[in-house]
Each structure stands twice: as structure tokens, then as C-alpha cells.
């Protein structure tokens, strides 16, 4: 058996010369990323022409390129699966799904960014270019199947995220957030590199599939150490407890549109990385990493939702909320079943709309008032029904109140967990969901229940400005779109369910893991 494994590993690590040409020529797999790269260069070029030219041309360049990228991803859905770049990237349906979530999150983040950047006096062209660079890294990370391409993609995303976090140069909190993110992120990158070097030393290849086969045929104690290092990097990227310390400070200090992207696009790429590495590399340690992720999920759901109760800042509250939401998504990862993986994909898609909708409301409020404190939202329904309604629906969906799309996403996750006997995770998830509903409804109560005389001083002098005159039709469009999907997406959720199930059914990596999980249940 070891000899056979070594033979298979050697053939996997060194493709036949006739196959190299086919693997190398399949550049169409990264066509969406190519469009994003062209847009990145385009925004830099128009930025050289001056701030007025950048403000005029950067938005349409971003809109057109991201729309084309999404259309190319739709076109890839039914194309036969072929690896590209010598097996370093694969455009399977799992990668297409997560890349679509990343691209759409960037598009919505840009829609809610322009007025914010203009008000803060930040260069629009540079901001768009850096955000597109982060998008490029996140999209490549979703389909990377080699440790080298994983690291390059991860660092592209991370470095761009550091720059975005500190983009408000005149704001001391933004600079502090960027410094903390840089220090913790650099440590995480070093940990990943050390774990990757151990995996390469054990297997003699950087291919994730080759490493997984080597660990199956001859697992060693070093493999367990490498698993811990890789798991730490994945946990950092998805902001799981206890690797979450950077999240509240970075969310509070960073520009709000940047936080919106980090909370969805970066997190989606992190979960795609978790699926690739843990299932592709460490199938030999299936029970071990699932146990570790069970602990991380319980800690994330508990700490994230409990600590969120005491927050007075909206951005900081949503930071701890995102930690708890990551714990919910980890239930599907630990299940290892078809329903579990499909629930992960579905919930990330739902999280995209309900979380970005909430951030769109927060940006609108901060543009008019400059405040982020929850207490300052008191009595808001009298002055701005749009923000009140939109934020209320998005928060109710995040809490899992029917018939919002978040309710169906959570039900799918809990159903998958119960069916795979993850009773502890389901019970903790249900209890912490109730806790989350309390602090979400507290914000809604603050906006709706307060009488005119009880309204905050900021709301009493709330400026009544026509949104079109304010120059934020894009922000209004993003808000209305996210709220509509959040509100009616649950009622018409069958196409989303089918899409998530097809994404799992069309991904060989997940199907192999599902077969292994089913064998363990039968055994």
C-alpha cells in the first residue's frame, strides 16, 4: 500500500509531458480574474489623470468589469472541469460559487463606497484599485490548489486589506487598525509558511492533492503539527475564536465600506481556503480537524454573540456578530455531508446581502451625522424611514427571524448538523441565535420605540437632505437591492437552494469527502 501511494503521488506531482500543454493552456479558467486585473490597471491609469478624472471614470470601470466577471463565472458553470496552470488552480463549481460571492460583495461595497470616500477626501482611483487588488487575491484564493498559489493569493488579499484598513490617513483609529491588522496578519502568514514547509518536506510536492495522498499513505507526527499551523491561519482569516482579537479593533477603526468587504468577501475566501486545505490535504486527519473546528465553532458562537451584547458602537457590534456568524457557518464544515457543505454556500450567499445591507444603512447614517454610536439611532424612524426599515430587516435576518433569508440559511445549517449528529453545535447555535436576536432587536427598539422627545440629540437635528442631491444614488440602489433580497429571498429561496446543492454536487473534492463521511457513519 505505501508503495502504491508513492507511485500515485509521483504521477500526481509530475504530470506527463503531453498533459503539461493542456494544463498550461487552460487560462480561460481565470478569465474573470483577468477582467478584474484589467480594471485594476484601468483605475490606476485614470487616477494618474487627476482626481476629477478618477472620480468620473473609476466607478464605471469597476461596474463594467465586475459585471463582466460575474457573467464569465456564470458561463463557466457548465464548462467541463479542467485544472489550469499545471494544476495550481481549478474552476470547479465550489470555486465559481465563492468567486461569485466575492465579486458581488466587491460590487456592492463599491456602490456604497463612493460618497463615503468623497466625504472623507480620499482619492477614489487609488481606493478602487486597492479594493480590486483585494478582490483579485480573494477570487484566486477560492480556486487555488497548490500551496504556492494559495500563499500568493492569500498575501495579495492580505496586503490589500492592510492598505484599505489604514486608508483614512488623517484618522488615528484607521492607522491603528491597519497596524494591528498588519502585525497579526504577518504572524499568521509566517505560521502558514512554516506549516506549508512541513507539508512540502513530508510529501515532496506543493500540490494539495498530492499532499493529501502522501498523508493518507504515510501519516507522520509532523503532519499533525502542520495541521495546527494551517488551521491557525484559516481560523485567523475567518475570524474564529481565539484568533479573533484583530477583528473588533479593525472593524471599528477601518473605513465602513472596507469593513463591509472584509466581513463578506474576505470571509468567503477564508471558508473556501478552509475547504481546500482541510478536506484536500488533511483527509487522513478528518476526525482531528473536525474536533478542533467543533471547539472553534462553539467558542465563536458563544463569545461573539455574548460580547456583542455589551457593545455601544454599531461597527463593533457587527464585528462580534461576524465572529458569531462564522461559528454558524462552521457547523456545515464540521458536518462533512452534502447538506452541510451546501448550507455553507447558501448561508454565505445570504450573509452577503443581509450584512452589506446593514452596512449600507450605517454608512448612510454616518454620512448625515458622523456618528457610529447605537444610542444615537434613538428615534430615527421619524426622520429617516428608509434607513430604519432597511436596517431593521437586515438585523432581523441576521438574527434568523422568519421569513427573512437568514432564517432559511440557519435552518439549513441546523438541519444538516442535526442529521450528522452534531447535537452540541446545533444546541449552542440555537441558544446563541436567541442571544443575537436580543441585541439586534435592541437596535431596532432604539430606532422605532423612542418618542420624539426621547430621540437622541443627533436625530433631533437630523438633516433632511434629498438623496439624489446628496450624490448617493448608487448607495441608495445598493441598500434597496440588499434589503429586497434579504426580505423576499427567503420566500423565493428554492433557486438559491438548488444553486448551493449544485455547487456541492459538481465539485469532486467535496464529493470524495462526502463519500468518506458516509463510510464513517455506516462503519
The whole-number pLDDT of residue 453 equals 67
- Read off the pLDDT band of 39 (50, 70, 90): very high
Task: State the virtual CA torsion across 283, 288, 290, 293 in degrees, nearest 10.
Answer: -130
pLDDT of 285 > 90? The answer is no
pLDDT at residue 522 in the model: 62
The pLDDT of residue 278 is above 50: yes
Cα distance between residue 87 and residue 66, in whole Å: 26
The pLDDT of residue 151 is 95
Instruction: Tell me, yes or no, whether 151 lies in a domain.
Output: no
Residue 85 domain-assigned (yes or no): no
- Run of H or E residues at 235: helix 221-237
144-159 per-position pLDDT tens digit: 999 999 999 999 999 9
Q: Please determine, for residue 506, whether its predicted confidence score (pLDDT) is greater than 90.
A: no
Identify the pLDDT of residue 24.
52
Q: What is the pLDDT of residues 191-201, one digit of tens each?
A: 999 999 999 99
Q: Quick one: average pLDDT of 42-69? A: 90
pLDDT of residue 486 exceeding 90: yes
Cell of 450: 423612542
Percent of the chain whose predicted confidence (pLDDT) is above 70:
92
Residue-wise pLDDT tens digits, 434-472: 999 999 999 999 898 877 667 777 877 776 544 443 446
If pLDDT is split at 50, 70 and 90, which confidence band does 26 have? confident
261: pLDDT strictly greater than 80: yes
| Domains identified in the chain, total number | 1
Is 185 contained in some domain?
Answer: no
Terminal Cα-to-Cα distance of the chain (whole angstroms): 21
Of 110-124, 216-230, 388-402, minimum mean pLDDT range: 110-124
Cα 283 to Cα 215: distance, rounded to the nearest angstrom: 8
Q: Does residue 356 form part of some domain? A: yes
* pLDDT-derived band at 371, boundaries 50, 70, 90: confident
361 vs 445: CA distance, rounded Å = 16
Instruction: Name residue 207's beta-bridge partners.
Output: 146
Residue 56 included in any domain: no
Q: Which of 100, 126, 98 lies closest to 113, judged by CA?
A: 126
Helix (H), strand (E) at residue 369: helix 338-369
Select from 104, 75, 106 the least CA-distant residue to 91: 75
Q: How many CB atoms lie within 10 A of CB 299?
A: 17
Lookup: cell for 263: 466581513
Is the CB of residue 426 less than 8 Å from the CB of residue 417? yes
Return the C-alpha cell found at 285: 486527519
What's the CA gap between 503 and 517, in Å, rounded? 18
What is the structure's pLDDT at 438? 94
pLDDT at 21 over 80: no
Q: Residue 475: which of 160, 162, 170, 260 has the closest Cα?
A: 260
Q: What mean pLDDT is predicted for residues 107-129?
A: 85
**What domain range includes position 428?**
285-523
Q: Is 455 exposed, middle or buried (0-12, 13-18, 19+ CB in 10 A)?
A: buried
DSSP 146: B
Mean pLDDT, residues 237-254: 90
Instruction: Give per-residue pLDDT as tens, 199-228.
Output: 999 988 999 989 989 888 877 888 889 999
Least confident range of 134-138, 208-212, 271-275, 370-374: 370-374
Could you tell me if 184 and 232 are in contact, meaning their C-beta atoms sit under 8 angstroms apart? no
Question: Which cell is 457 given?
Answer: 440629540
Q: In this structure, what C-alpha cell is assigned to residue 107?
A: 460590487
Average pLDDT over residues 495-501: 92
CA distances (Å), origin 331, targets 33, 66, 287, 399, 409? 30, 31, 14, 16, 12
* Chain centroid, CA 70 distance in Å: 17
Residue 357 has a pLDDT of 94
In terms of Cα–Cα distance, which of 440, 441, 428 is closest to 328? 428
Cα 39 to Cα 42: distance, rounded to the nearest angstrom: 5
Return the C-alpha cell found at 247.
477583528
Write down the pLDDT at residue 109: 93
The 10 Å Cβ neighbour count of residue 180 is: 18
What is the pTM assigned to this prediction?
0.92
Question: Contact, 320 vs 308, CB < 8 A?
Answer: yes
Alpha helix positions (H), 26-146: 31-48, 51-76, 93-111, 114-120, 124-143
Measured N-to-C along each axis, helices 508-522 and 338-369 cross at an angle, to the nearest 10 degrees, of: 120
Least confident of 290-294, 341-345, 518-522: 518-522
Chain mean pLDDT for the chain: 87
Q: φ, ψ for residue 224 (rounded to 5)?
A: -65, -35
372 pLDDT tier (thresholds 50, 70, 90)? confident
| 298-313: average pLDDT | 94
Helices assigned H by DSSP within 370-466: 385-399, 405-419, 423-448, 457-460
pLDDT band (50, 70, 90) for residue 513: confident
| pLDDT value at residue 489 | 85
Which has more confidence, 474 or 162? 162
Rounded alpha-carbon distances, angstroms, from residue 72 to 97, 136, 240, 489: 12, 15, 32, 24
Instruction: Identify the band that residue 120 occupies on the pLDDT scale cut at 50, 70 and 90.
Output: confident
Domain assignment present for 248 = no
Q: How many CA atoms lie within 13 A of 274 on its CB side?
A: 32
Residue 209 lies in a domain: no
pLDDT at 8 over 60: no
The H or E element spanning position 90 is: strand 89-90
| Partner residues linked to 194 by β-bridges | none
Q: Is residue 383 part of a domain?
A: yes
Q: What is the reported pLDDT for 512?
A: 82
Amino acid at each position: 500500500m505505501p508503495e502504491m501511494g508513492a507511485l500515485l503521488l509521483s504521477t500526481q506531482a509530475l504530470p506527463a509531458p503531453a498533459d503539461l500543454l493542456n494544463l498550461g493552456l487552460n487560462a480561460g479558467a481565470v478569465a474573470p480574474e483577468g477582467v478584474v486585473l484589467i480594471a485594476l490597471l484601468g483605475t490606476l491609469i485614470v487616477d494618474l489623470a487627476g482626481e476629477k478624472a478618477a472620480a468620473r471614470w473609476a466607478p464605471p470601470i469597476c461596474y463594467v468589469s465586475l459585471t463582466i466577471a460575474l457573467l464569465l463565472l456564470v458561463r463557466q458553470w457548465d464548462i467541463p472541469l479542467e485544472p489550469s496552470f499545471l494544476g495550481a488552480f481549478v474552476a470547479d463549481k465550489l470555486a465559481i460559487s465563492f468567486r461569485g460571492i466575492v465579486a458581488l460583495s466587491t460590487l456592492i461595497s463599491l456602490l456604497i463606497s463612493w460618497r463615503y470616500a468623497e466625504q472623507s477626501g480620499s482619492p477614489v482611483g487609488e481606493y478602487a484599485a486597492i479594493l480590486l487588488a483585494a478582490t483579485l487575491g480573494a477570487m484566486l484564493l477560492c480556486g487555488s490548489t497548490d500551496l504556492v498559489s494559495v500563499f500568493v493569493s492569500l498575501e495579495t488579499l492580505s496586503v490589500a486589506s492592510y492598505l484599505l484598513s489604514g486608508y483614512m490617513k488623517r484618522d488615528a483609529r484607521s492607522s491603528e487598525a491597519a497596524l494591528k491588522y498588519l502585525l497579526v496578519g504577518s504572524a499568521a502568514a509566517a505560521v502558514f509558511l512554516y506549516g506549508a514547509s512541513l507539508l512540502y518536506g513530508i510529501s515532496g510536492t506543493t500540490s494539495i492533492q498530492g499532499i493529501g495522498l502522501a498523508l493518507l499513505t504515510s501519516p507522520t507526527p509532523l503532519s499533525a503539527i502542520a495541521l495546527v499551523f494551517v488551521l491557525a491561519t484559516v481560523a485567523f482569516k475567518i475570524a474564529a475564536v481565539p484568533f479573533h482579537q484583530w477583528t473588533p479593533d479593525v472593524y471599528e477603526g477601518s473605513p465602513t465600506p472596507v469593513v463591509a468587504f472584509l466581513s463578506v468577501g474576505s470571509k468567503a475566501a477564508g471558508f473556501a481556503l478552509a475547504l481546500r486545505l482541510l478536506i484536500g490535504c488533511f483527509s487522513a486527519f478528518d476526525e482531528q480537524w473536525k474536533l478542533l473546528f467543533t471547539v472553534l465553532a462553539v467558542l465563536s458562537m458563544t463569545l461573539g454573540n455574548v460580547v456583542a451584547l455589551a457593545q455601544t458602537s454599531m461597527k463593533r457590534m457587527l464585528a462580534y456578530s461576524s465572529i458569531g456568524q462564522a461559528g454558524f457557518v462552521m457547523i456545515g464544515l464540521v458536518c462533512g455531508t452534502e447538506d452541510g457543505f451546501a448550507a455553507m454556500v447558501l448561508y454565505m450567499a445570504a450573509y452577503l446581502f443581509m450584512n452589506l445591507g446593514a452596512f449600507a444603512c450605517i454608512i448612510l447614517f454616518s454620512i448625515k451625522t458622523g456618528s457610529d454610536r447605537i444610542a444615537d439611532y434613538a428615534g430615527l424612524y421619524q426622520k429617516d424611514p428608509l434607513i430604519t426599515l432597511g436596517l431593521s430587516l437586515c438585523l432581523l435576518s441576521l438574527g434568523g427571524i422568519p421569513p427573512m433569508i437568514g432564517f432559511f440559511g440557519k435552518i439549513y445549517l441546523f438541519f444538516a448538523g442535526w442529521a450528522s449528529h452534531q447535537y452540541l453545535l446545533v444546541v449552542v447555535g440555537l441558544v446563541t441565535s436567541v442571544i443575537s436576536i436580543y441585541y439586534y432587536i435592541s437596535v431596532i427598539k432604539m430606532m422605532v420605540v423612542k418618542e420624539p422627545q426621547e430621540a437622541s440629540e443627533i436625530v433631533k437635528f437630523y438633516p433632511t437632505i434629498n438623496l439624489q442631491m446628496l450624490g448617493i444614488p448608487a448607495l441608495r440602489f445598493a441598500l434597496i437591492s440588499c434589503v429586497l433580497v434579504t426580505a423576499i429571498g427567503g420566500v423565493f429561496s428554492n433557486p438559491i437552494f438548488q444553486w448551493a446543492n449544485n455547487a456541492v454536487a459538481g465539485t469532486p473534492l467535496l464529493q470524495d469527502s462526502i463519500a468518506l463521511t458516509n463510510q464513517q457513519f455506516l462503519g
